[in-house]
Chain A
Amino acid sequence: MIGFKNAINKLAIPCFINDASQVEQLIYTPECKGNLSVYLHKTEVKQAKKVGILANISTLRSLIQLTSENQLNDIEKTVITINAQDEVVVFENMEKLEEYVQANFPEYTEEDKKLLEQLNNMTREQRWQYWTEQFSACIKCYACRAVCPMCYCSSCTVECNQPQWIKVSSETTGNLEWLTMRAMHLAGRCINCGECGRICPVGIPVHLLTAQMNLDIEKEFGAKTGFSCKSGYALNTFKPEDKEQFIQ
């Protein structure tokens, strides 16, 4: 069973229990923001075959998105959440889970909305200035990748050195390439849990890149991520009537 437990400073950290006697450890507070579905890709969890997961709304959304990408087929999982009325909800199947998520679909946080609006009101040069300053701090720890439930590839482009797509050292152009690549590979798949921005040790709001992409994709192609198990991937499909203004 994967859930949360108390840590110092009233923080909630992930907790793994495999015995009923340990169930006392589990908590569920507003501090439980982490996205636990990332652990479902770990070999140890996959080997367990039967997994329980105490999910918050972003974890539920990732479960839907991962199911639509056929990533959870070989895991027998029991999903539990606690709704706004403090009741325990156990989902019998994915359809029930879908209904719950669609009824409680989360919006962007006020903070993110404000930052996105600020950035979109800037001139292009100001945005470039803002992002390059942010990117120059990146230390390439790849924590944003480690924490992301959608980054489940067993080999990543950053580790590819024949050819070397992304420079290994931490320098701004390489950082820019890495974060561009990350944003592109997650565009239309990211479920806006914001974990990457929260986890970043140097405080780059990386989650805003994918958040903005999701807004654009929803506007252009009408696709929502983590909304339906059958929605698929917006960049893996097309409509002949897709409209754009820039191709000459």
Chain B
Amino acid sequence: MSEQFEPKIVAFVCNWCTYAGADLAGTSRTKYATNVSIIRFPCTGRIDFMLLMKAFENGADGIIVSGCHPNDCHYTSGNFHARRRWMVFRSLLDFMGFDTERITFSWVSASEGSKWASLVDETTEKIREMGPFTDFNKLDYSTFEKISNDTITE
């Protein structure tokens, strides 16, 4: 008997829009997938690319990055800076052959509780179809294999 795969999804959200949007989804009792763990940031501009890498390394299968719509940023320009960085980071990942489909970028405002709920549902469904993220594990295993083979031959 096979159980359905439940992906682990980490959401990096900004305090002022998406976190409030997720809160609205909660207070209006909207039902959505429970696979998401929300991490709150002061602003999308604070979401460093290394944090995304670390999330994948620590077992996330998918990531949502979300903040205020352009021109809505609490700090005026944080999301504009973040947008440029994500554009560059995404193309770097793509150039390295990393599956960028596992990272969902979105704008969700404080009044878009339903958008947040459907975003989480859609992402969960997408990642469920893609299966668990194993690229990093495979790499670790291949290093381990290489070292143990070397030791044996010695």
Chain A positions near chain B (C-beta within 8 angstroms): 119-120, 122, 124-132, 136, 157, 165, 171-173, 176-177, 180-181, 183-184, 187-188, 209, 212-213, 216-217, 220-221, 234-236, 238-240, 242, 244, 246-248
27 A-B residue pairs with Cβ-Cβ distance under 8 Å, sorted by A, are A132-B139, A136-B142, A136-B146, A165-B54, A171-B140, A172-B143, A173-B136, A173-B139, A177-B50, A177-B57, A180-B49, A181-B50, A181-B53, A209-B92, A212-B91, A212-B92, A212-B95, A213-B88, A213-B91, A220-B87, A235-B81, A235-B88, A238-B83, A247-B86, A247-B105, A247-B106, A248-B105
Identify 12 new A-B residue pairs, CB closer than 8 A, beyond the known A217-B88, A220-B87, A239-B80: A120-B95, A129-B97, A171-B143, A173-B140, A177-B53, A183-B92, A213-B88, A235-B84, A238-B80, A238-B84, A240-B80, A246-B90
A136 in contact with B143 (CB, 8 Å):
yes
Interface membership of B55, Cβ < 8 A: no
User: Inside 8 A of A129's CB, which chain B residues have their CB?
Assistant: 97
Verify B140–A172 contact, CB threshold 8 A. Answer: yes
- CB-nearest residue of chain A relative to B135? A128
Report the minimum CB–CB distance from B66 to chain A (whole Å): 9
CB distance from B122 to the nearest CB of A (A): 9
Instruction: Please give the distance in Å from B123's CB to the nearest CB on chain A.
Output: 9
Which B residue sits closest to A219, measured CB to CB? B91
Determine whether B96 belongs to the interface, using a CB cutoff of 8 Å to chain A.
Answer: yes
Residues from chain A with a CB closer than 8 A to the CB of B75 are none
Residues of A within 8 A of B104 (CB): 248
B94 at the interface (CB under 8 A from A): yes
Instruction: Report the tally of A-B residue pairs with Cβ distances under 8 A.
Output: 111
Cβ 8 A contact of B96, one of A131, A173, A216, A217 = A131
Closest B residue to A157 using CB positions: B50
Interface residue? B107 (CB, 8 A): yes
Q: How far is the CB of A198 from chain B (nearest CB, A)?
A: 20
B70 in the interface, Cβ–Cβ < 8 Å? yes
| Contact call B77/A238, Cβ cutoff below 8 A | yes
Question: In the complex the two chains form, is B119's CB within 8 Å of A248's CB?
Answer: yes
Q: Which residues of B contact A (CB under 8 A)?
A: 49-50, 53-54, 57, 70-71, 77, 80-81, 83-100, 104-107, 119, 135-136, 139-140, 142-143, 146
A163 nearest in chain B by CB position? B54
Report whether A235 and B85 are in contact in the complex, using a CB–CB cutoff of 8 Å. yes
Q: Taking the nearest CB of chain A, how far is it from the CB of B149, in angstroms?
A: 13
Q: Are B94 and A176 in contact (CB under 8 A)?
A: no
Across the A-B interface, the 10 shortest Cβ-Cβ residue pairs: A128-B97, A127-B97, A238-B80, A172-B139, A171-B143, A248-B106, A247-B105, A216-B91, A131-B96, A212-B95
Tell me how far the C-beta of A202 lies from the nearest C-beta in chain B, rounded to whole angstroms: 14
| Alpha-carbon distance A247/B107, docked complex (angstroms) | 7
Docked pose: A58 CA to B95 CA in angstroms: 24
B142 lies within 8 A of A244 (CB): no
Docked-complex contact A188 and B88, CB < 8 angstroms: yes
Nearest chain B residue, comparing its CB with the CB of A244: B87
Residue pair A165, B50 in contact (C-beta under 8 Å)? yes
Query: Are A184 and B84 in touch, CB under 8 angstroms?
Result: no
* A119 and B95 contacting across the interface, CB-CB below 8 Å: yes
Q: CB-nearest residue of chain B relative to A133? A: B142
Report which of A184, A216, A240, A247 forms a contact with B49, defined as CB distance below 8 A: A184
Which of A124, A165, A188, A246 meets B97, CB within 8 Å?
A124
C-alpha spacing A235/B84, complex, angstroms: 6
Chain B CB within 10 Å — which of A212, A213, A244, A246 has the most?
A246
Kindly state the separation between the CA atoms of A171 and B96 in the bound complex, as whole angstroms: 17
Chain B, residue nearest A241 (CB):
B70
